[in-house]
Structure 1
Amino acid sequence: MAKNVSLNLFLPMLLLCAGVQSDVTFTFENLCSDTLWRASNPSIGDLEPDLPRDTYEIFNMDDHYSGSIWVRTGCSTNASNYFSCETGDCGNGIMECAGLNPSFPITQLNFVVNNPIVSYEVSLKHGQNMLVRIKPNGGTLVDGSGPCPMVDCNKELSSVCPLDLIAGNKNDQYVGCNSPCDGYKDPKYCCNGNGCQPDEISVKYKGLCPFAHTYPGDNQPPIYQCKGADSYDITFCPAL
């Protein structure tokens, strides 16, 4: 199937940047079977957040940004015109999140953009609702250790997710897996005490997604700092 190529986010970002064009380019590709809806906090000015299946979009980021991007799944509008989603919902009833906090679980993509340096990570610290990959095109690590690596989480946590951390929709279908910190509110899992060590659940998550951070104190792999990449490809439901 031919992919839809959309530039519908490009012009809004130029307007938000007051005519100053950024050199930090993100691309979003949805290889999932259903439409996804982007969200972010702080807002990245995503005025058209829906990303239909087999769609590839180009997005110019601001030169300075620090925050999280995620996708919402299973979204719909009810008879009262209230917009809501099965995962990642922002609770405001409209399609645009406007920098609000989401309902968990979500797969977080955390970025710090300080052009020309971009830091990036895939985080499961608030669970998982989506398979994802971040792939810099070109660039080198700021510490000089080599090229900017790809990071991803491309396996479902459903096989290791404890039953009481499973997130289901109104039809009791699996839609994601919560983190133990969010699910249990226990300092053992939230690193509120002295030190911060992996727990038995986060270890299982890490076994499936070794390039993602799985608990609040997780720093392996490190959060990469990349300089000089041509773009950052963000793929949802990437091929193996």
Structure 2
Amino acid sequence: MAKSVFLNLFLPMLLLRAGVRSEVIFHFENLCSETLYRASKPSIGDLEPDLPRYAYEIFNMDDHYSGSIWVRTGCSTNASNYFSCETGDCGNGIMECADLNPSLPVTLLNFIVSAPIVSYEVSLVHGQNIMVRIQPNGGTLMDGSGPCPMVECNKELSSVCPLKCLALNKAGIYVGCYSPCDAFKEPKYCCNGQGCQQDEYSLKYKGLCPSAHTYAGDPQPPTYHCKGADSYDITFCPAID
């Protein structure tokens, strides 16, 4: 059951929704100018998909999970009550979305949760539809090299996105950037994760988002394995540094 707390107009809206009892807590915050609709593969459990603008939500994550979370943008319901989105759409006509392949491009947040250890990364392997940040609160890396770092892509790829990779909505407005593999569908831009090489486009994406993975098999940065963090802040449209 959800419990919502609304603050005054000068503060973000706080939404508290109870999920599965767990040691792993996710804080979702939407600093974008529109309502976002979350999706996951597989389902992350009892979580309402909508995250209104300026909303902040605390969710108890399932303590055993391996999969991807993303958000859908430009969403609406038509006269026939069919729900669809400009990016990340699941094609099922409803707000709930899990275990489906989203329409691209889409920024993926990949997690492996085995409490108290959480592995996490921001992936641009299928392009970008939203800017995002993952910030562990506390915790140390499993290899003992230090505290668990923040990873993000807080720059829009439009400035380096090739013409053929541009994703436009029906009005011709930019809504995201495809990955070279998804746009060109050529072997030199795609691989199975073994022996993959950075190309000129993923290199440009990396220049804007150095802590995100920009192509399949991207070794830098490594997927971080964090132990003992109090929580994980997941911010959509974070402030640009």
TM-score range, shorter chain: over 0.9
Alpha-carbon shift at residue 7 of structure 1 (Å): 1.2
Displacement of 1:41 in angstroms is 0.3
Q: Is the 8 A contact 1:46 1:96 kept in 2?
A: no
2:199 is matched with: 199
- Cα distance between partner residues in 2 of 1:231 and 1:63: 12
Moved more, 40-49 or 153-162: 40-49
The residue aligned with 2:13 is 4
Aligned partner letter, 1:97: C
- For 2:177, the equivalent position in structure 1 comes to 177
Contact between 1:187 and 1:193, CA under 8 Å: does it hold in 2? Answer: no
Q: CA deviation at 1:239?
A: 1.1
Q: Which residue of 2 aligns with 1:17?
A: none
1:191 deviates by: 1.9
One-letter amino acid of the structure 1 residue matched with residue 68 of structure 2: S
SS at 2:211 equivalent? coil
Alpha-carbon deviation of 1:101?
1.2
Give 1:67's aligned residue.
67
- 2:130 and 2:29 mapped to 1: Cα distance? 13
What's the CA shift for 1:192?
A: 4.6
Instruction: Read off the aligned partner of 1:107 and give its amino acid letter.
Output: T
Return closer, same or farther for 1:79/1:216 CA change in 2, 3 Å cut-off. Answer: same
Residue correspondences, number: 231
Cα distance in 2, alignment partners of residues 118 and 226 from structure 1: 5
Shift of 1:46: 4.7
Q: Which residue matches 2:123?
A: 123
Distance 1:47 1:80, change over 3 A: farther
2:192 and 2:216 in contact (8 A); partners too: no
* 1:29 alignment partner AA: E
Partners of 2:37 and 2:202 in 1: CA distance: 27
Letter in 2 for 1:102: P
Can you list the C-alpha shifts for 1:124-177, whole angstroms capped at 9, x where unaligned?
A: 000000000000000000000000000000001000101111000010100000
Contact 2:193 2:217 in 1 (8 A): no
Match in the other structure for 2:5: none
Identity of aligned residues (%): 77
Aligned to 2:222: 222
Please tell me the residue identity of whatever aligns with 2:111. Answer: F
Matched, 1:108 2:108: yes
1:90 maps to which residue? Answer: 90
Structure 2 residue runs of 5 or longer lacking an equivalent are: 1-9
Distance 2:142 2:192 in 1: 31
- 2 CA distance for matches of 1:106 and 1:128? 5
What letter is aligned with 2:54? Answer: D
Which residue does 1:18 correspond to in 2? none
**Aligned residues: CA RMSD:** 1.2
Question: What CA distance in whole angstroms lies between the structure 1 residues aligned with 2:131 and 2:229?
Answer: 23
> Closer, same or farther in 2 for the Cα pair 1:180/1:116, shift >3 Å?
same
TM-score, normalised relative to structure 2: 0.93
- CA shift for structure 1 position 194: 6.8
* 1:139 and 2:139 are equivalent in the alignment: yes
